A and B are shown apart, each in its own frame.
Chain A
Amino acid sequence: LAKTTQPISMDSYEGQEVNITCSHNNIATNDYITWYQQFPSQGPRFIIQGYKTKVTNEVASLFIPADRKSSTLSLPRVSLSDTAVYYCLVGPDYGNNRLAFGKGNQVVVIP
């Protein structure tokens, strides 16, 4: 999987929109961008995936610029229950099938 870089942590107030960035300068042509969310004491869960431009689902939006070297996960009007670690992954790597998560971005929602 291509290497990704994310901020370590960020705080946000309840009700605000939260934008979480991820850099992936060496993304390959066949790579998709996938985000996972991990609540305390639980395994990560898939939240959104995209290839280019914008993808939206019931949980989040994913913005990918034309050069695809970065992406932004947007969480609308966060609540306390959105406090979690968010991981950005780029792949898949069909060659060796590794799935490495990195440290992720700890998002804390403050009342």
Chain B
Amino acid sequence: NAGVTQTPKFQVLKTGQSMTLQCAQDMNHNSMYWYRQDPGMGLRLIYYSASEGTTDKGEVPNGYNVSRLNKREFSLRLESAAPSQTSVYFCASRSLRGVGDTEAFFGQGTRLTVV
């Protein structure tokens, strides 16, 4: 199994440009998440999707939009990139199939630099 796959792995954008980060999982998980991680910081939740067709804001949603395209795919879009969005972005998925089943699986990350 590939698990959680993110594309691209690296990206450099100019201020004001737009782009979409892609995430796909092959574990049939219901829930998917997008995080950003700045140097020396913990993970901050941007958006999440509890199930296909639903999305919700996390801790730092401003400047981002998401689309839960189907059960497998959850994309993150930056409409007008700003230097403050320079970060490493992680996608994760999990499935709450039973009590205590909170294990989340993460992608390898996307390193985004906005100049």
Contact = CB atoms under 8 A, between A and B. Distances in A.
Interface residues of B, number: 29
A15 B104 CA distance: 29
Q: Give the interface size bracket for A toward B.
A: 20 to 34
A46 B48 contact: no
For B45, B48, B100, B101, which residue has the most chain A Cβ atoms within 10 angstroms?
A: B100
28 contacts: A32-B99, A32-B100, A34-B103, A36-B104, A41-B109, A42-B106, A43-B4, A43-B92, A43-B106, A43-B107, A43-B109, A44-B92, A44-B106, A45-B106, A49-B100, A89-B102, A96-B50, A96-B56, A97-B96, A98-B45, A98-B58, A99-B33, A99-B102, A100-B58, A101-B42, A101-B43, A102-B42, A103-B42
Given A43-B108, A100-B45, 19 more contacts: A32-B100, A34-B103, A42-B108, A43-B4, A43-B107, A44-B90, A46-B103, A49-B102, A85-B42, A87-B42, A89-B102, A91-B102, A92-B96, A97-B48, A97-B56, A97-B96, A98-B56, A99-B48, A100-B58
